[in-house]
Every structure is written in structure tokens, then in C-alpha cells.
Amino acid sequence: MHEKVLLRRQTTPALDLGSYLASGGFAGLKKAREIGAAETVRIVTESGLVGRGGAGFPTGRKWESVRTATDPERYFVLNADESEPGTFKDRVMIDVDPFLVLEGVLIGSFAISATRAFIYVRGEYRKEADLLQRCAKELEAAGYLEGLGPEGRALAIEIRHGGGAYICGEETALFRSIEGYRGEPMSKPPFPTVAGLFRKPTAINNVETVANVPDIVTRGASWLRSLGTERSPGIKLYSVSGNVERPGVYELPFGTPLRELLDLAGARDLQAILLGGAAGTFVFPQDFDMPLSYEAAQERHATLGSGALIAFDHETNLWRVAERLGSFFAHESCGQCVPCRVGTRRQHEMLEALAEGHGRGSERDLLVRLSQVMTDASICGLGQTASTAVRSLLDAEAKGLLAV
């Protein structure tokens, strides 16, 4: 049985600084201060930690490029926008261990010599924003922010409320939103590490990513590598929902078979799951033995995304599910580029026809064709992945895997 790391305070959350310290908190930050920024980043790099927000970029590499940037003004941003359907692990992470998340933010800010740290919390997560605000105040009062900034200055932390749109979780749109503009993604390059928030070098990380950091710094890079698989070191949080007896957030080392997670959540006799959230893929029982790792998912043209798993029984019409996903993307597209603005609408219209069972017969071919246009030509990840689930459903249908 895996001993919990990220969720170790789940049964008795540490909601004030005293109890966080009493249960071993801030050992990571203390060590980081002792060994310095460069060494801290080296440990994170060596641990093999990659971003848990969906893109899977190596965290240490991100931090190193900001740390070594020439511009003295640089920012650390915590992405707590979490707006993908079926994803709620960041919320639980904040609820049960806000100081662990903040310790991660402080270590990250220290590691890149951030002049300011921004915490961008999904608009609906009022409670979590308030909690983080209160905890950050407590840390400031207790002197924890002293000396973290450049040349020994204190770090300033700012909490921002999200713009209420899924697209604001995309890093460049999130920057625009903090800057006070419409949340529209920008092209990359330039990457955030070079020109991010206010066009300054910026490290942006997901909540779960930074929650890993204190333990990595305290226990060393080899500790994370002792968990998981060689190419996916460490642990992952999964948000499980749908036709299961025990929906919730689960923490497991990478490499755990999907079936084990389904058993833990009390899933029985499923038709399929949607793995990786709205931008993920449908996975059918024949693949339930797959290990949950980045490499195993990739081999099957699937994705772990941010770790969302929605389960569907045999009564579910998966085309109806696809129609809901299509509606989500059409609604959440920022509207900036043609392939996504018009494409998500056309996709949704075709999915509606298929779900209602009154398609013209040409929808399936057209969906594939459209998918290629959106994937290739959209500006950002939203349009590029808005048809991933649909494609996987079409493949499954061709193999005769659909129940209804």
C-alpha cells in the first residue's frame, strides 16, 4: 500500500502554521535556504519532476531558465485555475494542505529569485482563495517571506481571482488575465520563462506540481525517483468521478495499473472511462491493465492530462458524452482563432446530430477532417485538443467497442 505524501494530512488537515510546523512542515524551505537557489533547482531537475497541469514539462528546466535569466524582475505564478470538467484534485490539495502548497510556492520563488509571486485561483474557488490568503498572511507575519526575493528582499505574494473561464488556465491567457486584459492565449515562443507575465521571465506551475517540491528538497532527488517508473518518477493525484462508488481524489505512484485505481474507487463493469479530462481520450476495458504512466499512456495514444478520470457504465451513450464535451469546448473557446472558434462550433453541431441519432451519415468523416484542422492550426492547447476525445471515440466505434 502506497504511503501518502501529497495527501498525508488528508485526515487531519494542517490549517494553521503551528500545526503545519508540528507535523514536519517547512523542512523543505529551510533546506532550500541552506543549500541556495542553484542547488535547489538542481535537485528538482534531477528528481525528474514534470508539471502536473497537463503539459508535463520538466519543472527543474523551467526554473533553471528563469533563475539564469538576465532580467532581474521575474515572477513565480501558481496556477490554481482548475476548470477542466472532472478535475478537482488541486482544490482538495489546497483544502487539506494549504501550507504544503505555499511552501512549494516559496521554494519555487526562492529558486528563481522571484520579485513577486502570484496565486491565480479559479473564481469559483472562493473558499480556497480565502484559505490561501489567510495562510499567506500568517506566513508573512511570521517572517517566512523574508529573504526569499532577489538580494535578500522579502517576497510579495498576491492572490488573484480567476476570470471564470477555462481558457484562463492556459498559461499565457492567465498572464493576460492577471494583467487586466481579456484572457486570450498568446503564441509561444516566446515562452513564459523568457517573456511571461508582464513580459518578464516567469515560472508558472500547477498546484500539484509545487506540492511535490518540499519533499523533493528535503528527501532528495533519489527519493522521488524511488517512486513510480523510470520515465515517470513520483506520484500522481487522480480526480475520479462518474459511475463509481467512491468518487474522490486518489494518490498513487506512477506505474500503478489503471485497474487498481478503478478498484479503489469502486468501479464495476464499466463501458469505458474518459482519461485525462475533456481533452483526454476514452479508454475501454481491454486497456484497463495499462500502467498509469506518461509513457504507457503515450504508447496507447492516450494522455493522463491533469489526472481526471470519469467512469461510464454500459447504459451511457458515449456519443452523448462526446456531445457534452463538444459543447464545453465550443463554449470555452476564447474565439480568437478561426479553427477553434468556428471549428468547435461545427464539431458540436455534428456531435449533436450523432447523439440524437439523426446524422446525415457524413459526420464521422467530416469530424476526422475537422479534427486535423483544429489540431494543426489552432493557436493554443484548447483548440489543439478539443477533438482528441472525439477521435478516440470514433476509433473505438470502428472497433465495435461501444455499448449503446
Partner 1 sequence: MADAFQILIDGHEAIAHAGETILDVLRRQQVETPTLCTHEHLTPAKACRACVVELKGSRALVASCERKAEPGMEVRTDSERVENARRGVFELLLSQNDVSTAPALAAQAESLGADPGRYRGQRYEKGFFDDNQLYVRDYDKCILCYRCVEACGPDVQNTFALTVAGRGFDAGIAAGFGGSLPDSACVFCGNCVAVCPTGALMDRREHSLRAEGRWQEDRYDVVQTTCSYCGVGCQLELHVDRESNEIVKVTSPMDHSITHGFLCVKGRYGYSFVEAGAE
Ligand X SMILES: Cc1cc2nc3c(=O)[nH]c(=O)nc-3n(C[C@H](O)[C@H](O)[C@H](O)COP(=O)(O)O)c2cc1C
312 vs 339, which CB is nearer to ligand X? Answer: 339
When asked if residue 310 is in the footprint of ligand X (CB under 6 A), the reply is no
When asked if residue 387 is in the footprint of ligand X (CB under 6 A), the reply is no
Decide which of ligand SF4, ligand X, partner 1, none touches 209; Cβ closer than 5 to 8 Å per partner kind: ligand X
When asked if residue 388 is in the footprint of ligand X (CB under 6 A), the reply is no
35 vs 55, which CB is nearer to ligand X? Answer: 55
To partner 1, the closest distance from the beta carbon of 367 in angstroms equals 11
Decide which of ligand SF4, partner 1, ligand X, none touches 206; Cβ closer than 5 to 8 Å per partner kind: ligand X
Selected binder of ligand X within 6, 32, 69, 82 (CB under 6 A)? 82
- Interface contacts to partner 1, rule CB under 8 A: 165, 167, 182, 187, 330-339, 341-346, 349, 366, 369-370, 372-373, 375-379, 384
To ligand X, the closest distance from the beta carbon of 378 in angstroms equals 10
CA-based nearest residue to 130, from 173, 103, 91: 91
Selected binder of ligand X within 47, 109, 202, 209 (CB under 6 A)? 209
When asked if residue 303 is in the footprint of ligand X (CB under 6 A), the reply is no
When asked if residue 52 is in the footprint of ligand X (CB under 6 A), the reply is yes
When asked if residue 169 is in the footprint of ligand X (CB under 6 A), the reply is yes
| Contact positions vs ligand X (CB under 6 A) | 51-55, 57, 79, 81-83, 166-167, 169-171, 204-206, 209, 380-382
